[in-house]
Each structure stands twice: as C-alpha cells, then as structure tokens.
Amino acid sequence: MSELENNTDPDSNDDEKGEKNFNDRRRNAYDTYPLLSPHAAAFLGLIGGFFLYQFVGGMLTIAVFGFDIEHAPIDSFRLMTIAVQILFMLLPALLLARWIYGDVSDIISIKIPRWQELVLFSVGIIILAPLLQSYLYIQSFFIDQLAATSAFANSIKEVLDSLNELVEQTYNNLLTADSIPELMFVAVVVAAIPALCEEVMFRGYIQRSFELKMTPFRAALLTAVFFGLFHFNPYGLLPLILLGLYFGFAAYMSKSLVVPILLHFLNNFAAVTLFYALGEEEVISTESLNSAGLESNIFLFFVLTAIFTIIVLVIKKYYSKLSIQ
C-alpha cells in the first residue's frame, strides 16, 4: 500500500484539484470554513464519537435493558444496536462534516465507482479475510506458548482472555440466528449498518480530515489504528488495523466511500454466514493449535500474503492506467 505515500499517484490530479478547491474556499474572505484545523476536526470526531458511542450509547443500553444484557430480548437489543450506531456514529460524522467544513460532500464522497473497482477490491477482501484468520490462529498458538513459560505473560493473558470473552459473548448474542429471515436481520445489524456508520465516520470524516494535513498513507494508517482500538478486541487488534488500512487504501484510491462500505459489509457478512453455518467455535474462537495446525496455517498465511500483494499491485496498475486515459 505504499502507493498512498507517493505524491505522483494515479489520482494526483484529482487530489490536487480537490486540495485547490479546499484551499480556495479557505482563502475566500466570505467563507469562514473550516471552523477548525483538519487535525483538530479529526480528533474531535474520534473523541466525540468514542464518548457518544461507547459511553452514552452504553449508558442508554443499560437504562433500557439493565445490567443483565445477556438476557435482554435479543431483537430489541439488536434494534438498540442499530439506533446507537446511527445516532452516535453516523449522525455525528455528518453533522461535524457540515459544521466544520460547510459542505459534507467536500469530506464524505459517495460517488458511484466503476464495476471493475468493486471487483478488484472485493477479490482483495476475499483473500484478506482468511489471511487475517490464519494470523489469529498463529498468534493464539504463540501466546499460549509464552503464557505456559512465563507467569507474568500468563497473568496478562488472563486479563486479555476476560476481555475477549466479553467480546465473544456480545457477538454470540448478536449473531445467533435460528432461521434464514432472522439471519437476514442479523446481517443488517452486524454487517450493513456497521459498514455504513463506521466507514462514514472513519474512512469518511476522520481519514479525509487527516488527509488534508498529512500524506494519504499516514492518514489511512492513523485512522486504521484508531479503528482497531475502537473495537476493544484485544486479540483482534492487529487484524482490525490491517483491515482498516485496506479500507482506507480503497477509500483513497477510489475517491469514494462506496467501495470501503461494500468491503466492510462483505467482511462482516462472511462472518455472519460462517457463524450461522459452522457455529461459534469455528468462527470467533481463539483456541490454540497443535504443531501440525501451526505449520499449515503459517504456510497458508504466506501464500495468501503473496496473493494479496499481487492483488494490491493489480489495483495500483488499474488506477495508473485509468489516470492516463
């Protein structure tokens, strides 16, 4: 993804035009926007979004269902999850973009991509998902090995296991479905709504704000780090960061949030369908492997990494050709 660091990228002309329009507006004596520097705007979105979603949303959920969330009516809990995501993530991103920058479309682009773009990036996510899953298996093996030989490491692992158990229990409640219609509803709750809300906030408002003051790669990487931390998944932190970086790469190259929204949806929908088909243990469990399983997953990890690298290069070549047409 080093293309993000290159100032002569295929879409540099479009970027220069966009930056020129943005700077021209800033120089206009009658235009007070932006009200904050892009860096301050991005961190305002991060801090505000975190507080609203995690704390206000959490308190609202507790106020409705009490502390025994595990035994709350599942469909009501799912509807609450949708409401919290829209009210405390999607809506703040749109309002902040409008308030700080004046024109939401300056920051959050929803232009329709070409079908070739959708296909190329979708192939990438199809490869990246099992690649990250193989990494999780390898990581789990070595964490267990380290915990078995170090009391300090084992104590840290116990804390992480407790946090991970909470994450798994939450997803287990949301993902469990007893019929195809319920599965479709779960897909809306876990795949469609998060894809829309999180991408508008992270790859839309936050990453775009960072891009106005730093290189595209740094903007995408920094956004991806916060994206990973936002999910409170201790063992899945690095995979979430890499996933977020790919979403950021897609948003920057395509100049549209439609692509990362689709990728986010496909990734989450695959988890929903696999959970429905295989059950909890095969999808979100981080149980360790034996040596044979470790070797096969290491082999799979490197093969998939090579394939994914080729796909990224093909995507870069596609945009390079597009820019000279």
Q: Which residue has the tokens 């301050």?
A: 40
Core vs surface per residue 256-274: b (16+ CB within 10 A) or e: bbbbbbbbbbbbbbbbbbb
Q: Is residue 90 part of a domain?
A: no
Q: Is residue 296 part of a domain?
A: yes
pLDDT of amino acid 240: 97
Length of the chain: 325
Please count the structural domains in the chain: 1
| pTM reported for the whole predicted model | 0.87
The residue segments making up the domain with residue 177 are 2-27+110-323
Residue closest to 249 by CA, chosen among 319, 323, 301: 319
What residues have CB less than 8 Å from 198, skipping those under 6 apart?
A: 85, 89, 227, 264
pLDDT of amino acid 5: 52
Q: What is the mean pLDDT of each run of 10 residues along the chain (325 residues)?
A: 51 53 54 84 93 90 80 87 95 95 90 94 96 93 91 90 81 83 93 97 96 94 96 92 97 96 96 81 54 86 97 96 80
Q: Is residue 202 part of a domain?
A: yes
Q: Is residue 166 part of a domain?
A: yes
Q: Is residue 100 part of a domain?
A: no
CA atoms within 13 A on the CB side of 52: 18
Residue closest to 250 by CA, chosen among 135, 115, 122: 122
Q: Is residue 68 part of a domain?
A: no
- Using CA atoms, how far residue 48 sits from 40, 151, 232, 253, in Å, is 12, 38, 17, 28
- Using CA atoms, how far residue 39 sits from 199, 223, 246, in Å, is 18, 12, 22
pLDDT of amino acid 284: 47
107, two tokens? 């920051």
Q: Is residue 84 part of a domain?
A: no
